[in-house]
Amino acid sequence: MTNPIDPKLFPTDFVSRLELIFPTKQLDSVLRTFAQPPKTVFRCNNIKNATEQLPDLLAQSGIKCTPLNRIKGAFSVSENQRRALTESTACMEGRLYIQNPSSMLPPMILSPKPGEEVLDLAAAPGGKTIHMADLMQNNGRIGAVESVKKRFFRLKENIERAGVDIVTTYLKDGRSVGRQCPERFDRVLLDAPCTGEGLFNLNNPKTTAFWSEKKIREMARKQLGLFHSAIQSLKIGGTLVYSTCTFAPEENEAIVDQILKKYGTAIEVVEMEIPEPDTEKGIRQWRNIQFNEQVTRARRIVPDGLYEGFFICKLVKTNVTHPV
């Protein structure tokens, strides 16, 4: 039997917090995923080529890919072929986008349609923006917002490489968009900046170097501001998906709970179907703070070595959002 992962390998307090989120039996398997090298997964960009064509195209470069169950257009390759994939003509031409399957779920759940106007409020590096354009068949309009200059230019570069021509990029603070574009968008994706706990990897110390409970509080303040902006920019009847790649309830259920308190019945969390990985309902309580029952309709993606840890919540705007 494999020895358990030593909690001392993680930042102070991180494991004790996870013990309040995951059952004991589940926690050990979750911790083990942090010691595994990340899997190499990519999504076909149907704007440039059909899903059916891509495996044959990669095979010409000696790359064998395996389709993922229940996520159409997603494939994995063995770790020893990752470099070959990143250096392949298909990758350099934007015919595919390397991305963890957990990151493919928020655009799929938002499900933007051709001809719609969509907002990606924290868009860099652009994988989800490109995915949404693909789902929209490159027909409609996407506003992609990024506040960090270096990340903004990477966003533009990735969008151009993918052949997407329905995206307008904006270098600005997403917290201002709601005031400037009230009730404009049919759908909004807020894949919020976060502490990235779901991406922790013990083989890469940089992934855990800046974690602290202070950082969690800092990110939560930013997330709440972005969430208000997302709701203000959403049309009545529109759909919003809020997601993070972290476990911290302060960045997940607590944020949704504050939104529900502020806007009352004008915002509703709705049930959603997650196509593939192991999931848990959003938690109802954290450190003696009770959340609105609706947060249990959100889903936590449990890391399993393929899927990274993620939180996803789908909401609809049912009325004008005057704060209550």
- Give pLDDT, residue 237: 97
Q: Identify which of 104, 62, 53, 67 has the alpha carbon closest to the alpha carbon of residue 87.
A: 62
> Reduced to 3 states, what is the DSSP secondary structure of residue 234?
strand
CATH of domain 37-98: 3.30.70.1170
Series of mean pLDDT values for 10-residue runs along the chain (324 residues):
76 94 91 93 96 94 93 94 96 97 97 98 98 98 98 98 98 96 97 97 92 97 98 97 98 98 96 85 96 98 95 95 57
- Give pLDDT, residue 268: 98
Residue 310: phi, psi to the nearest 5? -150, 155
For 269-293, the pLDDT digits (tens) are 999 988 777 899 999 999 999 999 9
CATH superfamily name and code, 101-317: Vaccinia Virus protein VP39 (3.40.50.150)
Residue boundaries of the structural domains of the chain = 37-98, 101-317
Q: Which residues are catalytic?
A: 245
User: What's this model's pTM, rounded to 2 decimal places?
Assistant: 0.96
Give the Cα separation of 139 and 114 in Å (integer): 5
For 66-125, the pLDDT digits (tens) are 999 889 899 999 999 999 999 999 999 999 999 999 999 999 999 999 999 999 999 999
- Give pLDDT, residue 2: 62
- Give pLDDT, residue 69: 86
Q: Give the Å distances, CA to CA, from 94 to 90, 130, 139, 164.
A: 6, 10, 18, 10
